[in-house]
Amino acid sequence: MNASSERPDESDYGSPERQATWRHRAWRFKLAHRRNVVAAMLRGEISLRSCWFGLRHPHAVVALARREGRGMVYVCPAWIRELDEAGVA
């Protein structure tokens, strides 16, 4: 993977920079992102609406709101890795 595939994107939501970063991500990264979104829905952590949003706008989604306001589910592989290294997740 190249550096852009490994680093979390910190651009503004919906910005051209974020869209460009998503376009340049490796296909495995994109697949992992989508797999994380669907897995969160299948585990009952997020709603169908959140799942649809995560799949429809992957360039814009780092985390999705949990059902009933219980926090966030990180679905971006780069952010998950970053949080794991920081010992937060």
Does any domain span residue 47? yes
The pTM of this model reads 0.81
Task: Return the DSSP state at 12.
Answer: P
The domain tally of the chain equals 1
Percent of the chain at pLDDT above 90?
52
10 Cβ contact list (under 8 Å, min separation 6): none
Does any domain span residue 41? yes
For residue 25, what are the domain limits? 11-86
Residues 1-23 pLDDT 10s? 344 445 655 666 667 888 888 89
Mean pLDDT of 19-42: 94
Q: Where are the beta strands (DSSP E) in 1-89?
A: 63-65, 72-74
Does any domain span residue 70? yes
On the CB side of 66, CA atoms within 13 Å amount to 9
Does any domain span residue 50? yes
